[in-house]
Amino acid sequence: MTTCFESCGLRRQSDSDPGLTALHPALRRRAFSIVALVTALAMETALAAPAAIETEFDDQEILVTLPSEALTPDTPPDSAPALADQVQAFLLQARSQGDPRYLGYAQALFERWPESRMTDRLKILRATLNQSLHRFESAREELADILNESNSNRQQVTQARLTLANLELVQGHYESAHSHCQQLANDFPGLIAASCLAQVEARTGHAETAYQSLHAQTRQSPASDATSQIWALGTLADIAAQLGRPEAEQHWRQVLALAPDDLYTRTQLADWLLERGENKAVIKLTDAYEQVDSLAVIRAIAMKRHKHTDAGRLSAMLEERFTEARWRGTLLHQRDLARYALEIEGDAETALTHALANWQDQREPLDTRLLLRAAESAGNDPVAADVRAWLDKHDQRDARYPEVRS
């Protein structure tokens, strides 16, 4: 099984406050997409059309070997803290390894845990899981409940507010996101809260001011914990990319130096390099990451443009992967499929269908850019006009949208 990680970043524990688990800007971009169980292609057919999906197997045939964590005990952990630790470990593994099966293991633990024994920490983790699975309303309701409960402690309220701010930002609800970020700054001031506010301000017409302000705060806080630094650097990279500044690459590489397993940042940097025609750099950056859909698609595009000898194999593998995902009904996140359809297959109508469906839930910059390009390629002026109207409403200008002129 594979996953889309333009969403996806690492969930890290703050060194300065062990109780506050900070979500890197990556989580604002994406949740996970459970895509497919891939049948390997034989070498002699690697460049051919995708093989037919097999549905009949011998009883003794081994289809896939699951991680040892899949062999969960018959009974869940016997305490709420133990359960929370196990769920959090699964979420970390899902994001750092690009393997969404760990989300299923976390889900299984929750299904066996009585609702009457749910703690605030468990509710926040369940909301995070729901967001990863694109159950946005369920996540929002759970987090709102924590904020509305008078007996919730300050630490859990802060964590819930941070998670909810991320969710609102992902979906383009900027007024609500700003409100939560501001409250976070009041309750838990620092680089994480400043990054939260800067991201919203950048998306709503104040990118230059947001970048300069956050950059200054980052330089003034050299002693900040690693989590806060990574968060701020990732946000600076995103805003720099929005402004079209070359510093974006530097900031993303700084994040990867601190957190090499941050798949979201790797995806953002790979996309940045691809847009600048640096195909060889993209191929190098995405080496050994073909199990991650977003990185695999970007790699396939770079290989195609570079006329790489392995381009056909990777494209065929992705075609099989997406075909099987649709057949299985597990195509949770559609952005990668839309980009593959548009830039590898040249199928503008299919790309537009999936890009539009994706944009209904997620309105991060790369989601918006993809929809604009798909609409332009398909000649669908009404969709493009709707997107431009939404951008104008929020005064959102982005150098990554050459289709929109300021």
* HEC assignment per residue over 276-320: CCCHHHHHHHCCCCCCEHHHHHHHHHHHHHHCCCCHHHHHHHHHH
* Mean of pLDDT over the chain: 83
Single residue among 253, 288, 323 that ends a domain in this structure = 253
Q: Do 247 and 342 fall within a single domain? A: no
Q: Region 59-77: what's the mean pLDDT?
A: 59
pLDDT 10s digits, 200-215: 999 999 999 999 999 9
Structure tokens at 248: 């974006």
Any domain includes 295: no
Q: Do 117 and 239 fall within a single domain? A: yes
Single residue among 207, 236, 253 that ends a domain in this structure = 253
Q: How many domains would you assign to the chain? A: 2
Task: Output the pLDDT for position 72.
Answer: 53
Pairing of strands 21-23, 11-13: antiparallel
Alpha-carbon separation of residue 24 from 108, 228, 279 (angstroms) = 25, 9, 27
Single residue among 253, 279, 306 that ends a domain in this structure = 253
Query: Per-residue pLDDT for 50 more than 70?
Result: no
pLDDT 10s digits, 89-98: 999 888 877 7
> In which domain, by residue range, is 353 found?
334-406
pTM to 2 decimals? Answer: 0.81
